[in-house]
Homo-oligomer: A and B are copies of this chain.
Amino acid sequence: MNHLPPLRAALLAGALCASTAVFAAPQQGTGVAWDIVEGITTEIGPRPAGSPAEGRARAWGEARLKALGFSNVRVEEFKTRAWTRGPESAALTAPYAQPLAITALGFSVPTPKGGLKAELVYFPTLAALEAAPDGSLKGKVAFIDHAMRAAQDGSGYGPYGNVRRQGPTIASRKGAAGVVIRSAGTDSHRNPHTGVTIFASDVTPIPAGAVSNPDADLVARTAARGKPMAIDLRLEGKPFPDAPSGNVIADLPGRDPSLPIILVGCHLDSWDLGTGAVDDASGCAIVTAAALAAQKDGQTLRTIRVLWSGNEEMGLTGGGGAHYVKMHGSEAHAVAMESDFGADRVWQVKFNTAAQNKPLVDKVKAALWPMGIVPHEGLADGGEDVSAIIAAQKLAVIDLGQDGTHYFDLHHTPDDTLDKVDPAALQQNVDAWAAVLGVIANEPGTIGKAGA
Contact = CB atoms under 8 A, between A and B. Distances in A.
Interface of A: 1-9, 11-13, 15-17, 19, 21-26, 38, 41-46, 53, 96-99, 101, 124-128, 145-148, 155, 157-159, 161-162, 165, 182, 188-191, 195-196, 198, 213-214, 216-218, 220-222, 225, 274-275, 279-280, 312-316, 340-341, 379, 381-384, 387, 407, 411, 413-415, 417-420
Nearest to A280: B1
Contacts of A188: 415, 417, 419-420
Contact of A195 (B2, B147, B382, B407): B2
Contacts of A213: 419
Most B-side CB within 10 Å, residue of A3, A148, A157, A384: A3
A341 B146 CA distance: 32
Nearest to A165: B3
Nearest to A352: B7
B217 A26 contact: yes
13 contacts: A1-B341, A1-B407, A3-B161, A19-B159, A21-B127, A26-B217, A38-B221, A42-B221, A188-B419, A188-B420, A189-B189, A217-B417, A218-B418
A191 B149 CA distance: 23
Nearest to A387: B5
B15 A53 contact: no
B15 A158 contact: yes
Contacts of A155: 12
A409 B124 CA distance: 30
Contacts of A43: 96
A419 B8 CA distance: 31
A312 B147 contact: no
Given A1-B411, A315-B2, A16 B162 contact: yes
Contacts of A280: 1
A381 B7 contact: yes
A128 B159 contact: no
A309 to B, nearest CB: 11
